[in-house]
Amino acid sequence: MGRGKIKIKRIENSTNRQVTFSKRRAGLVKKAREIGVLCDTEVGVVIFSSGGKLYDYCSPRTSLSRILEKYQTNSGKILWGEKHKNLSAEIDRVKKENDNMQIQLRHLKGEDLNSLQHRELIAIEEGLQNGQTNMREKQAVILTLPVAPELI
């Protein structure tokens, strides 16, 4: 539409490309607004220029966020699959750490020892003894302090 017909393919001249981008972006947003009003629909448009700049439009009385939420429930497509996967993976990882520590704690308390090898029991025993040694040293320090331990 204009003085000459153009082929729909990337405009090589970067100046022309930029100019056309501005014009057509405005046009696209205008059309989006119009269909929204005329047909009483919700419309969202997101455009990234090749320079990475962001432009968007969305019908009044709603938000991209809300439109996309609807999009997901309607299409069944998950838009943020990757992000969610990452978060879920982190949860799994942390929970596993958690379980391991839980078990260690139990062992140190003398619980759930039945499934352990002798070697492992020895290690725990050593851990307990180290702990007590350290603890006694600490207590000793406290007892030699000139004030009551409760106030430390």
CB < 8 Å & 24+ apart, contacts of 52-60 = 55/25, 55/29, 57/28, 57/29, 57/32, 57/33, 59/32, 59/33
Stretch that binds DNA, among 21-29, 43-51, 73-81, 136-144 (CB under 7 A): 21-29
- What is the nearest approach in angstroms of DNA to the Cβ of residue 92? 46
- Largest Cα separation within the chain, whole Å, is 97
Task: Say if CB 49 and CB 72 are below 8 A apart.
Answer: no
The contact pattern for DNA, residues 57-96, with x = CB under 7 A and - = no contact, is ----------------------------------------
> Position 34: which residue type?
E
Query: Which residues, 76 to 115, sit near its own copies by CB under 8 A?
Result: 77-84, 87-88, 90-91, 94-95, 97-98, 101-102, 104-105, 108-111, 113-114
Q: Which residues bind DNA (CB under 7 A)?
A: 1-6, 15-16, 18-20, 22-24, 26-28, 30-31, 34
